[in-house]
Amino acid sequence: MALLGIDIGGTKLAAAVFTEGGEIISREVILLGDLRGKDPGSLVTKTAGKPVTGAVEKPAADNVGKLIADTVREFLSREQPDGSRIRSIGISVPGIYRIKEGTVWAPNIPGWDNYPLLQEVQAVCAGLPVTIDSDRACYILGEMWKGNARGCSNAIFLSVGTGIGAGILADGRILRGANDIAGAIGWLALSKPFRDEYVSCGCFEHHASGEGIAKIAREYLAAGPEYAGTLRNKPAGEITSHDVFDAYSKGDPVAARVLQQCVEYWGMAVANLISLFNPEKIIMGGGVFGPAASLIPEITKEAARWAQPISSRLVSIEGSALGGDAGVYGAGWMAREKLGREA
């Protein structure tokens, strides 16, 4: 038996075929930028491919749904190397999945406000079960299946990239909330007084997301004209979080100040997750962890100052074991789980 996991990101689609035990049989990556002006079907290769690399462009997003359907159709038509056939499909989406409606809201795919993805995929998969959920849910499910949260029923994936979100596994189930938007941790209130900058993205995300790191660095540069370090090597407006991490690794004082502040915010947010959820594990992932993974011991120390002390002693705070593959593993796990429930 084989399972198909698909992870849709803002810039690429990753697909992998899994065994029931979670081994990857084959995988493929398609850059959404390649969609511009092409028939999505032409992008799906006829053999199991290696990950595709190349320049990342904004997706021509009206075709994303068709690309997903074509990918599913193509994978279903293949016989797997081990002779098995795909029996169930899981999909991770970069936004919110409305489970009752089967629709997706994805801020980085234009037009996906209420996109009927479930229906579109079901139309091409001949009655096979299809399960969809948000990327943050898939991240923690992936880590639970094959990463650092194996064996956990209570674990949280704190995803810090351009934005910030949390996938929360509570008593063995994904926390959805009343409208499928639980885990919006970027909005965490961590620092009085309220500032206008929080209106569009939330306090925590303003200070400690990838975007936030770049933004705060720019603020510091504007406020300190005497500074002449490496962050002056490009126009302030073009500085990214990668530049800040790069400067930090070279001992830059502005970068150190920005990241020290981030450690404080990450620590407070982790502490709040510990006190509220009493989890076994908190997994730090997303693009920023990544380079910030070396700061996890400091974040753990900061969290321990604030959190409920018993929960704090019992939790383990770790980096992601799966990195960029957490979503596709989570999608694979959902495919397997759905089959288990229906069997």
Which residues contact a second copy (rule: CB under 8 A)? 152-154, 166, 168, 170-171, 173, 175-194, 198, 202-203, 264, 268-269, 271-272, 275-280, 305-308, 310-311, 314
**What is the distance between the alpha carbons of residues 127 and 110, in angstroms, rounded to a whole number?**
29
Q: What's the closest the beta carbon of residue 108 comes to a second copy, in angstroms?
A: 17
As beta bridge partners, residue 106 has none
**What is the distance between the alpha carbons of residues 31 and 104, in angstroms, rounded to a whole number?**
20
Q: Which of 133, 103, 99 is nearest to 116 (CA)?
A: 103
Q: What's the closest the beta carbon of residue 124 comes to a second copy, in angstroms?
A: 31
Q: Closest CB to a second copy among 185 and 334?
A: 185
- How do 2-8 and 86-93 pair as beta strands? parallel
Q: What's the closest the beta carbon of residue 203 comes to a second copy, in angstroms?
A: 6
Q: Closest CB to a second copy among 11 and 308?
A: 308
Q: Closest CB to a second copy among 230 and 308?
A: 308
**What is the distance between the alpha carbons of residues 119 and 126, in angstroms, rounded to a whole number?**
12
Q: What's the closest the beta carbon of residue 257 comes to a second copy, in angstroms?
A: 14
> What's at 217, amino acid-wise?
A
Q: What's the closest the beta carbon of residue 291 comes to a second copy, in angstroms?
A: 23
200-224: burial string, b at 16+ Cβ within 10 Å, e else? ebbbbbbbbbbbbbbbbbbebbeee
Query: Measured between alpha carbons, how far is residue 196 from residues 12, 185, 192, 201 in Å?
Result: 33, 18, 12, 10
Q: Closest CB to a second copy among 204 and 245?
A: 204
Q: Closest CB to a second copy among 203 and 259?
A: 203
Q: What's the closest the beta carbon of residue 16 comes to a second copy, in angstroms?
A: 29
Q: Closest CB to a second copy among 31 and 152?
A: 152
Torsion sign (Cα): 44, 47, 49, 52: negative
Q: Closest CB to a second copy among 217 and 268?
A: 268
Q: What's the closest the beta carbon of residue 265 comes to a second copy, in angstroms?
A: 8
| H or E element that contains 319 | strand 316-319
- Please, are residues 75 and 15 in contact by the beta-carbon 8 Å criterion? yes
